[in-house]
Structure 1
Amino acid sequence: MRRTISKLAGVAAVPMLAMALAQPAQATAATARPADASAPAYFEFTDGTDTFVFQLTDPAKIQQARNMLSGVDTEDTGVMGTVVKTPAPYNQPWNYQLDPGSVHFFSMATEVCDASISYVNDHLDEVGGALLPRSTWCPWHSKLTREVTAP
Structure 2
Amino acid sequence: MIGIKKLALVAALGTSMSLVAFAGPANADGGVHGTNYVATFSNGHTQFKVRLVDADDIDAAYKNLNTPKGQPRTIVNGKIVRVGGVDAYNAPFTWHLDPNDVAFVDMTTEVCDGDPNDVENGTLTSDRYCPWTQKVVKIEQIAI
Q: What band does the TM-score fall into relative to the shorter chain?
A: 0.5 to 0.7
Larger radius of gyration: 1
Between the aligned partners of 1:81 and 1:104, the Cα distance in structure 2 is: 6
Deviation at 1:83, TM superposition (A): 0.3
What is the percent sequence identity of the aligned residues? 28
Q: Which residue of 1 aligns with 2:6?
A: none
* RMSD between superposed Cα atoms in Å: 2.8
State whether residues 42 and 148 of structure 1, in contact with CA within 8 Å, keep that contact through their aligned partners in structure 2. Answer: yes
For residues 111 and 88 of structure 1, do their structure 2 counterparts lie closer, same or farther at Cα, with a shift above 3 Å needed?
A: same
**Is this contact kept in 1: 2:35–2:54, CA < 8 A?**
no
Contact in 2 for aligned 1:76/1:105 (Cα 8 Å)? no
The CA deviation at 1:36 is 7.8
Normalised by the size of structure 2, how large is the TM-score? 0.66
Paired AA for residue 143 in structure 1: K
Q: How does 1:71-86 map to 2 (within 5 A)?
A: 71=67, 75-86=72-83
Q: How many residues align?
A: 114
- Contiguous gaps of at least 5 residues in structure 2: 1-23
SS of the aligned residue for 2:132 comes to: coil
Question: Does the alignment pair 1:68 with 2:64?
Answer: yes
* More helix as a share of residues: 1
Alpha-carbon distance in structure 2 between the residues aligned to 1:82 and 1:147: 20
Is structure 2 residue 140 aligned with structure 1 residue 148? Answer: yes
Q: Which runs of 5+ in 1 are unaligned?
A: 1-29
Q: Distance in 2 between matches of 1:62 and 1:78?
A: 13
**C-alpha separation in 1, matches of 2:44 and 2:66:** 20
What amino acid is aligned across from residue 102 of structure 1 in structure 2? D
Secondary structure, in 3 states, of the residue corresponding to 1:63?
helix
> SS of the counterpart of 1:103?
strand
Change in Cα spacing, 1:141 to 1:43, as seen in structure 2 (3 Å) is same
In 2, are the aligned partners of 1:114 and 1:137 still within 8 Å (CA)?
yes
Residues 99-143 of structure 1 deviation map (CA, whole Å, 9 limit, x = unaligned): 0011111232111111210111011xx76xxx11xx111112111
